[in-house]
A and B are shown apart, each in its own frame.
Chain A
Amino acid sequence: EAQVTQNPRYLITVTGKKLTVTCSQNMNHEYMSWYRQDPGLGLRQIYYSMNVEVTDKGDVPEGYKVSRKEKRNFPLILESPSPNQTSLYFCASRPPGAYEQYFGPGTRLTVT
């Protein structure tokens, strides 16, 4: 089944403890992206990647890192999480030449 997967789906952590949220897609998409969703703010883009080893900042990149070593994987790294990074995170990918995106199921992160 063609899909975008994220792990973990739920995570509660403490301030300053490094964490990684994984994202993987099996559709051979070149473009991948991370968003965070907060009440009343819709989805805001954190980082995106046009292809392997090509990443760029979105609208809210502060406090986040990404890497794209393989086409299928695009992990999101929080080196030192803070409570204001408590949010619902979505990974998405997009077929070449298209605009519509395919979303993962989301990761709900709570930082205390």
Chain B
Amino acid sequence: SQQGEEDPQALSIQEGENATMNCSYKTSINNLQWYRQNSGRGLVHLILIRSNEREKHSGRLRVTLDTSKKSSSLLITASRAADTASYFCATASYSGSARQLTFGSGTQLTVLP
């Protein structure tokens, strides 16, 4: 089942600008993760934020989580052409005894040089 929904579906910005992507989900979670996928490649884990955290930073990435609104945002500051990729949020919860990830449909980010 698809839990996360990213918004916007596609985003195009100029190099140096900030990019913000949003993710909404439906059920309670243990944590939320963001992944990047370059065209035709596998997903790469970027950052994880736990349900009891509100904000987390990693380099040029800033993630926020609002569990009351069941939403998260990913901010990429000072974007570069190399940031062009699809970005997916994934919510993590327990299913039986397994930690399971449920992915959204992704935001395609294009950074123009």
CB neighbours (8 Å) of B103 from chain A are 35, 42-44
Nearest CB in chain B to that of A38: its residue: B105
Contact A100 B43 (CB under 8 A): no
CB neighbours (8 Å) of B41 from chain A are 105-106
A94–B7 alpha-carbon span in the complex (Å): 27
Interface flags, A31-62, vs B, CB<8A=1, else 0: 10001000011111100101000001001000
Q: Decide yes or no whether B112 CB sits under 8 A from chain A.
A: no
> B28 to chain A: closest CB distance in Å?
15
Interface flags, A55-87, vs B, CB<8A=1, else 0: 010010000000000000000000000000000
Within residues 42 to 65 of chain B, which ones have a CB less than 8 A from any CB in chain A? 42-45, 48
> B2 to chain A: closest CB distance in Å?
6
Contact B45 A101 (CB under 8 A): yes
Q: Decide yes or no whether B12 CB sits under 8 A from chain A.
A: no
A94–B103 alpha-carbon span in the complex (Å): 16
> A9 to chain B: closest CB distance in Å?
9
CB neighbours (8 Å) of B104 from chain A are 42
> B71 to chain A: closest CB distance in Å?
17
Given the known A-B contacts A105-B42, A106-B42, are A100 and B88 also in contact in the complex, defined by CB atoms under 8 Å?
Answer: no
Contact A102 B45 (CB under 8 A): yes
Contact A50 B98 (CB under 8 A): yes
CB neighbours (8 Å) of B44 from chain A are 103
> A101 to chain B: closest CB distance in Å?
6
> B101 to chain A: closest CB distance in Å?
6
Contact B45 A100 (CB under 8 A): yes
CB neighbours (8 Å) of B18 from chain A are none
Nearest CB in chain A to that of B9: its residue: A40
- 6 closest pairs, A vs B, by CB? A103-B42, A43-B103, A42-B105, A100-B45, A42-B103, A103-B43
Excluding A59-B1, A100-B48, 7 further A-B contacts by CB distance (< 8 Å) are: A41-B2, A42-B88, A56-B98, A90-B43, A99-B101, A106-B41, A108-B40
8 pairs, A vs B, C-beta closer than 8 Å: A4-B42, A42-B104, A44-B2, A92-B43, A99-B31, A99-B48, A99-B99, A106-B42
